[in-house]
A and B are shown apart, each in its own frame.
Chain A
Amino acid sequence: MSDWVASTPAPAPALRPRLNPVPVALFALLALAPVFAALSGAEGYVLSLLTRVMIFGIAALSLDLILGYGALVSFGHAAFLGIGAYAVGILASHGIEDALIQVPVALLASAAFALVTGAISLRTKGVYFIMITLAFGQMLFFLATSLAAYGGDDGLTLPARSTLAGFALLRSDRALYAATLLALLGVYALCTAVVNSRFGRVLRGAKENAVRMEAIGFHPFGYQLVAYALSGMIAGLAGCLLANQAEFVSPAFMTWQRSGELIFMVILGGLASLHGAILGAAAFLLLEEFLPEILHTAAFLASDDVRARLAENWKMVFGPLLILVVLFVRGGIMGLLGQRHHG
């Protein structure tokens, strides 16, 4: 049945008729950022912050792939970040420091974990899916805390960043930034291709109405499982980069709160728009970084004591801000930019 469908493809609707200015501007800005960073006088700080932004952009992208296009609310996605990071950390602690070994191991481990847990999770629907992915994430979190040989609760420090084919290419912050930017571009291109392919359309069809998809001869389960595994692998890649950026690996990478933050990044950016997820990650991390500063400055009329307390308790502003975004900003940043998502 599906062979017959494949042999006579319906003309694809023009999903991207013109070059979207938002991702172009986004990537241009990210490419130019090192120049501004060098001029800013705090190059190391700016570069490491933006590298983190891009790494979480990759993770948020991977989540948007299944959340935005498949309506699969994975509440355990930080587990894949952890798998990627621990693959780097564990291999490095055994003296295997080359990314050409670490990254494939991380991708394979992520894929294996995603295939096993996905096959079980996808049997359930809705709320149960949210909760079972959460349970698997927690399992891995507790496994990591019990790895006494690899630091347990405290995590482990990388001896050095990964090498690439034996060369210490990632030693400088600029090189890591460039590598992360390339990874982000590659992942973005891959995800765009996937969601616009026949595969992506089946995934979106299953999101809209799984019963109808079955009726016209598709089994959504297989498509969803492959999408889940792909998403897990991309998040695993983000984990490898995160370990290199922080030069440190710990169970804190995969707390359930981190999974919640990833979901928030995707929603903040706007569901099912891919570059929205990157924008959401950027907005989230930059807000987290600068909200204390902003509060301190904004309360310029108040006394120093009040300003200090305000900056210290920035989460009391961040939390309600989150609620307000959910209540009033439908469609996230992409919605604000006037770009309706497709699908």
Chain B
Amino acid sequence: MTTTLLLVQALNGLQFGLILFLIAAGLTLVFGVMDFINLAHGVQYMVGAYLVAAFASWTGSFGTALLLALPAALAFGLLLEVLVFRHLYDRDHLDQVLATFGIILFLNQGVKFVWGAAPLNVPVPEVLSGSVEIADGLLYPVYRLAIIAAGLGVAALLYGLVSHTRIGMLVRAGATNAPMVSALGVNIRRLFMVVFGFGAMLAGFAGAMVAPILSVEPGMGDNILILAFVVIVIGGIGSVRGAFLAAILVGLVDTVGRSFAPNLLRLVLDPAAASQSGRALAPMMIYILMAAILFFRPSGLFPVKR
């Protein structure tokens, strides 16, 4: 019983971790390459979810909606870049935190204005609905497996892009020393714009993928943004590989911790106290993990060498 439960929770953790990775990848690149703190990355995830919800109710097909939502999320990210972000690259982190905080306020209210405050539901696509038996008597929803597959696919794609293409090389070089890359004749502003748009699209993709399993509502990006920051800080800012490993780690620790912390504590405490403190401890675990990692490695697990 506990092994199957552990397996299910591990799969859930993996799925959550991969969603976190999709968000964190863009965030860590924007952070690493441009030295830019983008709090508005969470609302880009929310916008992705809303876009897919809107397109799905318009076209009636999740697949088409996803295909429409991706370029729309990209365009939206580029629009934000032109309107706000490019004016902030030369400012200090504090100004960036505040201005992007303003974008959060605007967009959280903005989606309420356009789509109403009530959560939207996106149906799970017909092909991917239902469950599949992955072990003896253990059913797991196909759609969640599809998220895992999509997340791993994007991770592989990103790995290829970042390590084996010219633009990936420029991105890596930019994360190490942006002024030097600029001095070598690369249009760094255009590179920033590409990275930014791509990151926004990845966040939008994550939002679109979770839309059928979570409720699409204003403010849905706020808490996941903080988790994405935890991920990139644990992984080391600017490192996609670090973000990947940290995202899986955070996803597993959070999901598995929530279901097993009370059980583990029961070994040392009496049941009532164990379930009480387990419930208190579970949501704090990833933050404890982060504080512990930063205590021993103040620049994360895979710091980008500068």
Say yes or no: is B106 at the interface (Cβ < 8 Å to chain A).
yes
B78-112 contacts to A (CB < 8 Å):
84, 87-88, 91, 93-95, 97-99, 101-110, 112
Chain A interface residue count, CB cutoff 8 Å, equals 43
> CA separation between A138 and B286, bound complex, in Å?
10
Cα A278 to Cα B105 with chains together (Å)? 22
Let me know if B230 is at the binding interface, CB within 8 A: yes
- Interface residues of B, CB < 8 Å — how many? 45
Q: A136 — which chain B residues lie within 8 A by C-beta? A: 287, 291
- Chain A residue numbers with a CB within 8 Å of B37 are 127, 130
Instruction: Indicate if the CB atoms of B105 and A127 lie closer than 8 Å.
Output: no
Query: Which residue of A has the minimal Cβ distance to B100?
Result: A323
A128 CB contact (under 8 Å) in B110, B112, B299: B299
Q: Which of B98, B109, B226, B229 contacts A264 (CB 8 A)?
A: B98
Interface bits A138-169 vs B (CB < 8 Å: 1, else 0):
11001101111000000000000000000000
Say yes or no: is A197 at the interface (Cβ < 8 Å to chain B).
no
| B214 CB → nearest A CB, Å | 19
Residue contact B110 to A316, C-beta cutoff 8 Å: yes
The complex places the Cα of A232 from the Cα of B284 at a distance, in Å, of 21
A257-B106 contact given A127-B93, A136-B287, A326-B98, CB 8 Å threshold: no
* Closest residue on chain A to residue B91 by CB atoms: A326
Asked if B233 and A322 make an inter-chain contact with CB atoms under 8 angstroms apart, the answer reads no
- Contact (Cβ within 8 A) B230 A131: yes
A146 to B222, CA, bound (A): 20
> Is A123 close to B, CB under 8 A?
yes
- Once the chains bind, are A130 and B299 in contact (CB under 8 Å)? no
Q: Does B279 contact A (CB under 8 A)?
A: yes
CA distance A319 to B300 in the complex (A): 32
Whether the pair A135, B108 counts as a contact (CB closer than 8 A) is: no
| Cβ-defined partner of A73 (8 Å) among B91, B94, B290 | B94
Q: Are B280 and A323 in contact (CB under 8 A)?
A: no
Q: State whether B102 touches A135 (Cβ < 8 A).
A: no
Our pick among B94, B105, B113 for the contact of A267 (Cβ within 8 Å) is: B94
The CA of A135 and the CA of B290, in the complex, are separated in Å by: 8
Query: Quick one: which of B269-303 are within 8 Å of A by CB?
Result: 276, 279-280, 283-284, 287-288, 290-291, 294-295, 298-300
Shortest Cβ distance from residue B37 to the other chain A in the assembled complex, whole angstroms:
7
Query: Which residues does chain B contribute within 8 Å of A257, judged by CB atoms?
Result: 222
Flag if A130 contacts B93 (CB, 8 Å): yes
Contacts of B87 in A (CB 8 A): 327
List residues of chain A with CB within 8 A of the CB of B283. Answer: 142, 145-146
Judge whether A318 is part of the interface by a CB distance below 8 angstroms: yes
B93 touches A73 (CB 8 A): yes
Q: Which residue of B lies closest to A152 (CB)?
A: B279
B16: interface (CB < 8 Å):
no
Q: In whole angstroms, how far apart are the Cα atoms of A128 and B233 in the complex?
A: 7
Contact yes or no, A260 B299, CB < 8 A: no
Within 8 Å CB of B280, what residues of A? 142-143, 146-147
> Would A256 and B226 be within 8 Å (CB), given that A139-B288, A143-B284 are in contact?
yes
Tell whether A22 is near chain B: CB-to-CB under 8 Å: no
- Tell me, in angstroms, the Cα distance from A325 to B108 when the chains sit together: 19
CA distance A320 to B233 in the complex (A): 28
A130 vs B93: C-alpha distance in the bound complex, in angstroms? 10
A99-142 to B contact mask, C-beta < 8 Å, 1/0: 00000000000000000000010011111101110111011001
Interface 1/0s, chain A 304-327, versus B by CB < 8 A?
000001000101101111110111
Write the chain B residue with the least CB distance to A130: B93
A residues less than 8 Å from B31 (CB atoms): 127
A143 / chain B contacts, CB cutoff of 8 Å: 280, 284
Closest Cβ of chain A to B124, distance in Å, is 29
Residue from the list B39, B91, B106, B290 in contact with A320, Cβ < 8 A: B106
Instruction: Point out the residues of chain A lying under 8 angstroms from B288, CB to CB.
Output: 139
Chain A CB within 8 A of B237 CB: yes
Please determine whether A139 and B284 come into contact, CB atoms closer than 8 angstroms.
yes
Residues from 285 to 343 in A contacting B, C-beta threshold 8 Å? 309, 313, 315-316, 318-323, 325-327
A263: Cβ under 8 A from any B Cβ: yes
Query: Digit string of B163-192 for contact with A (CB within 8 Å is 1, else 0)?
Result: 000000000000000000000000000000
Query: Pick the contact of B109 from A73, A125, A263, A319 — CB < 8 Å?
Result: A319
Which of A134, A318, A326 interacts with B99 by CB under 8 Å? Answer: A326
Complex contacts, B113 vs chain A, CB 8 Å: 309, 313, 316
Q: A126-B93, A128-B233, A267-B94 are in contact. Are A316 and B298 (CB under 8 A)?
A: no
Residues of A contacting B107 with CB < 8 Å? 319
Q: Are B290 and A313 in contact (CB under 8 A)?
A: no
**Is B105 touching A322 in the complex (CB atoms < 8 A)?**
yes
Q: Are A120 and B230 in contact (CB under 8 A)?
A: no
Q: Which chain A positions have C-beta within 8 A of B39? A: 260
Is B230 a contact of A123 with CB atoms below 8 Å? no
Closest to A268 in B: B98
How many Å from the CB of B101 to the closest CB on chain A?
5
6 A-B pairs within 8 Å (CB atoms) are namely A128-B237, A132-B291, A135-B233, A319-B103, A323-B103, A327-B87
Closest 9 CB pairs of A and B: A319-B106, A322-B102, A319-B105, A146-B280, A315-B109, A142-B283, A323-B102, A326-B99, A319-B102
Using A142-B287, A316-B106, A323-B99 as known contacts, list a sample of 18 further A-B pairs with CB atoms less than 8 Å apart, ordered by residue number in A: A73-B93, A123-B294, A124-B299, A127-B93, A128-B233, A128-B298, A132-B290, A135-B233, A136-B291, A143-B280, A146-B279, A148-B276, A256-B222, A316-B109, A316-B113, A318-B102, A322-B98, A322-B101
